[in-house]
């Protein structure tokens, strides 16, 4: 008796439930992103081709179908080329997984994605805050209020650590170690990779004062930052707070903040750039930021030679304010698979 050939949805479920989290060890955010890509594919097949989820097969996913789906993302959903490439990457990853499990069944999909080119995009200069702009942003929160004190510590920590927004969300009290005049952070980055970094002591003092003020300094599993309604702060919440302070900063300082594309990630770019300008070695910055490859770090090297000789002490002294340091939908009948919810 021949072994039964696994079908599309069966392999897709094991791809998300077993391969991605355990075999590949990918982060929950990557898994969520890939799940959303397949939710969109299922939505496209149903809305444009009247194919419900339980009737999707590998044979249906030929080059024309995959290419049409990517065009649909751009034309109907107004996705950027970056987003389009991300959806294609998700499908390509699953195609490779499926082909290893069932060569004959997944061959059509694998051949299809190989024929679809990745959209090339013109490289854009990274948006970076100047030292003056950073100083303005960090002075804005009102430390006399509970939320203002939180925002003050958060913005300072984003700059002092260069951490990604998700990494800031995930920080718990356990991740902050205060030893004499040294404050260390244990950061869990992409792919659950951990790194331990030292942050400038003024920021360490702010963080310690904040934990005491909040009364959670001994609750090691509590998240350091929380919203007014949830113990765990989300990326969207940080984006909203960042946008709020950026708008205030622009209004109060019309000669500053003249670039475009500011986001919480701008603070990470800023940290990397200022460290490089201060003369810190490239490999040290790579390890500090948790980059998988030094090639990622090298993108920050497009700097004027006159700034490279500045000392790291200037960076440590300029990012904080002394005053703040002392103050403390698919249609229902499509039956979207449960594992993609």
- Write out the E strands in the chain: 176-179, 182-188, 194-199
Q: Among residues of the chain, what percentage have pLDDT more than 70?
A: 87
Q: Which of 3-12, 60-69, 285-294, 295-304 has the lowest mean pLDDT?
A: 295-304
Range of the domain at 102: 8-122
45, 136 contact by CB (below 8 A): no
pLDDT at 310: 44
pLDDT at 87 over 50: yes
| CATH code of the domain containing 23 | 1.10.150
User: What mean pLDDT do residues 140-165 have?
Assistant: 93
pLDDT at 324 over 50: no
Q: Which of 6-20, 248-262, 281-295 has the lowest mean pLDDT?
A: 281-295
Q: Is residue 338 part of a domain?
A: no
More confident residue, 317 or 43: 43
The H-or-E segment that residue 72 falls in is helix 63-75
DSSP code of 123?
-
Residues 118 and 160 in one domain: no
Sheet holding 182-188, edge to edge: 176-179, 182-188, 194-199
Residues 113 and 146 in one domain: no
CA-wise closest residue to 162 among 136, 124, 200, 192? 200
Alpha-carbon gap, residue 283 to 241, rounded angstroms:
32
pLDDT at 244 over 80: yes
pLDDT at 236 over 80: yes
Alpha-carbon gap, residue 69 to 45, rounded angstroms:
8
Domain boundary among 95, 122, 149: 122
User: What mean pLDDT do residues 39-56 have?
Assistant: 93
Task: With cut-offs at 50, 70 and 90, classify the pLDDT of residue 222.
Answer: very high
Task: With cut-offs at 50, 70 and 90, classify the pLDDT of residue 285.
Answer: confident
The number of distinct structural domains making up the chain is: 2
Alpha-carbon gap, residue 221 to 46, rounded angstroms:
43
For 68, half-sphere exposure in the C-beta direction (CA atoms, 13 angstrom radius) is: 13
More confident residue, 155 or 228: 155
Alpha-carbon gap, residue 211 to 154, rounded angstroms:
12
Task: With cut-offs at 50, 70 and 90, classify the pLDDT of residue 104.
Answer: confident
Degrees, nearest 5: CA angle 253-289-272: 35
Residue 218 CB neighbours (<10 A): 9
Q: What tokens does 63 get?
A: 């080059």
Q: What tokens does 285 get?
A: 């910055």
Domain boundary among 122, 155, 185: 122
222, 171 contact by CB (below 8 A): no
The H-or-E segment that residue 63 falls in is helix 63-75
Residues 318 and 192 in one domain: yes
At 195 the three-state DSSP class reads strand
Residues 85 and 183 in one domain: no
Q: Which of 8-22, 113-127, 146-160, 212-226 has the lowest mean pLDDT?
A: 113-127
Residues 239 and 272 in one domain: yes
User: What mean pLDDT do residues 29-54 have?
Assistant: 92
Alpha-carbon gap, residue 77 to 62, rounded angstroms:
21
94, 47 contact by CB (below 8 A): no
Alpha-carbon gap, residue 210 to 157, rounded angstroms:
12
203, 157 contact by CB (below 8 A): yes
Alpha-carbon gap, residue 113 to 116, rounded angstroms:
5
Task: With cut-offs at 50, 70 and 90, classify the pLDDT of residue 193.
Answer: confident
Q: Which of 147-151, 153-157, 178-182 has the lowest mean pLDDT?
A: 178-182
117, 138 contact by CB (below 8 A): no
Task: With cut-offs at 50, 70 and 90, classify the pLDDT of residue 17.
Answer: very high
User: What mean pLDDT do residues 300-305 have?
Assistant: 51
Domain boundary among 87, 122, 157: 122
Alpha-carbon gap, residue 41 to 229, rounded angstroms:
34
| CA 230 to the chain's CA centroid | 20
pLDDT at 38: 94
Residues 262 and 304 in one domain: yes
Alpha-carbon gap, residue 27 to 92, rounded angstroms:
18
Task: With cut-offs at 50, 70 and 90, classify the pLDDT of residue 326.
Answer: very low
Residues 173 and 198 in one domain: yes
Q: Which of 139-153, 188-202, 243-257 has the lowest mean pLDDT?
A: 188-202
Residue 154 CB neighbours (<10 A): 22
| CATH code of the domain containing 140 | 1.10.443.10
Alpha-carbon gap, residue 337 to 39, rounded angstroms:
9
Q: Is residue 3 part of a domain?
A: no
Residues 194 and 311 in one domain: yes
CA-wise closest residue to 340 among 61, 38, 18? 38
């Amino acid at each position: 008796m021949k072994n039964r050939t696994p079908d599309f949805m069966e392999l897709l479920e094991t791809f998300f439930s077993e391969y991605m989290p355990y075999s590949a060890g990918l982060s929950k955010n990557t898994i969520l992103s890939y799940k959303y890509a397949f939710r969109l594919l299922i939505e496209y097949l149903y809305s444009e081709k009247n194919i419900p989820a339980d009737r999707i097969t590998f044979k249906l996913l030929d080059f024309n179908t995959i290419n049409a789906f990517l065009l649909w993302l751009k034309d109907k959903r107004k996705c950027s080329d970056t987003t389009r490439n991300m959806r294609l990457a998700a499908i390509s990853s699953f195609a490779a997984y499926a082909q290893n499990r069932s060569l004959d069944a997944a061959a059509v999909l694998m051949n299809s994605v190989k024929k679809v080119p990745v959209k090339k995009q013109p490289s854009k200069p990274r948006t970076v805050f100047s030292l003056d702009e950073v100083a303005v942003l960090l002075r804005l929160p009102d430390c006399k209020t509970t939320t203002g004190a939180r925002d003050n510590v958060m913005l300072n920590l984003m700059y002092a650590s260069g951490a990604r927004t998700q990494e800031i969300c995930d920080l718990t009290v356990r991740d902050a170690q205060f030893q004499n005049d040294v404050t260390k952070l244990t950061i869990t980055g992409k792919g659950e990779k951990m790194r331990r970094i030292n942050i400038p002591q003024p920021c360490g003092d702010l963080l310690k004062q904040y934990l005491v003020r909040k009364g959670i300094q001994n609750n090691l599993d509590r998240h350091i930052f929380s919203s007014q309604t949830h113990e765990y702060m989300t990326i969207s919440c940080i984006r909203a707070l960042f946008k709020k302070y950026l708008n205030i900063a622009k209004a109060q300082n019309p000669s500053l903040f003249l670039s475009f594309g500011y986001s919480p990630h701008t603070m990470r770019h800023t940290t990397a750039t200022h460290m490089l300008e201060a003369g810190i070695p490239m490999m040290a910055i790579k390890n500090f930021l948790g980059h998988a490859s030094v090639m990622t770090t090298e993108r920050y090297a497009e700097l004027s030679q006159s700034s490279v000789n500045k000392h790291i002490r200037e960076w440590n002294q300029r990012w904080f304010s002394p005053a703040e340091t002392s103050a403390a939908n698919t249609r229902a009948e499509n039956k979207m698979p449960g594992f993609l919810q």
